[in-house]
A and B are shown apart, each in its own frame.
Chain A
Amino acid sequence: AQSVSQHNHHVILSEAASLELGCNYSYGGTVNLFWYVQYPGQHLQLLLKYFSGDPLVKGIKGFEAEFIKSKFSFNLRKPSVQWSDTAEYFCAVNAGSGNTPLVFGKGTRLSVIA
């Protein structure tokens, strides 16, 4: 079965610091990878996704992620965080195409302090 590991439970950064959130998955076949953000009191919002092609994916709000197949990783990055990036971040994976569900990681809480 697929599983997703997010290594950082809670990350605290100052504004303008760089961000990298780790995400590893366990599945040997073709996967689709996603990062979602959930702002306090709000619903999931898609940041970016990877299906194929360029392993460096750019998403909304200045976020990007790099798929490294050999490491089964899909880490999320942002060069300079803002206070408004304070939220919960979820990595998710599904196996290939078709109607298979997303499997979510446990999430990483990001707190950005001024």
Chain B
Amino acid sequence: GAVVSQHPSWVICKSGTSVKIECRSLDFQATTMFWYRQFPKQSLMLMATSNEGSKATYEQGVEKDKFLINHASLTLSTLTVTSAHPEDSSFYICSARPLDSGYTFGSGTRLTVV
């Protein structure tokens, strides 16, 4: 079935640095990908919709200058957390809809900012 590969699985970074998370569709083309954030013991909150070749659409309250999204090809979307702070520590998950019937999710990235 359709697979979305997300890397890295976990990352620890120092406060003030930037971290890039990659999401690749392995066996299908994804014109659109979705980025979610999940805080411990909470639900998945949609951060933004990433569109190939155009600007991402951010949800209300999500800082677009802090969470940079690039979707330069049909198989790769990246999320860069810039100038990370401890409150950005979370679980980040990407998703795509390869078929009209369902969604596929990446395995997630656990970000810890120290």
In the bound assembly, the distance between CA atoms of A97 and B34 in angstroms comes to 15
A90-B44 in contact (CB<8A): yes
Given contacts A106-B43, A107-B42, contact A101 B34 (CB under 8 A): yes
Any chain A CB within 8 A of the CB of B82? no
Number of chain A residues close to chain B: CB under 8 A: 19
In the bound assembly, the distance between CA atoms of A106 and B44 in angstroms comes to 8
A105-B31 in contact (CB<8A): no
Q: How far is the CB of B8 from chain A (nearest CB, A)?
A: 15
Q: How far is the CB of A46 from chain B (nearest CB, A)?
A: 7
User: Which of under 10, 10 to 19, 20 to 34, or 35 or more describes the interface residues of B?
Assistant: 20 to 34
Any chain B CB within 8 A of the CB of A61? no
Any chain A CB within 8 A of the CB of B5? no
In the bound assembly, the distance between CA atoms of A107 and B32 in angstroms comes to 25
Residues of A within 8 A of B (CB): 34, 43-44, 46, 49, 51, 88, 90, 97-99, 101-107, 109
Using an 8 Å CB-CB cutoff, how does the interface string of B88-114 with A read, 1 for contact, 0 for none?
A: 000001010100111101011000000
In the bound assembly, the distance between CA atoms of A98 and B97 in angstroms comes to 8
Residues of B within 8 A of A (CB): 31-32, 34, 36, 41-46, 49, 93, 95, 97, 100-103, 105, 107-108
B31: chain A residues within 8 A (beta carbon): 99
Interface-centre pick from B36, B42, B103, B108 (highest chain A CB count, 10 A)? B103
B103-A105 in contact (CB<8A): no
B49-A101 in contact (CB<8A): yes
Extra A-B contacts (4), CB below 8 Å, given A101-B34, A101-B49, A102-B44? A34-B103, A43-B107, A99-B31, A103-B46
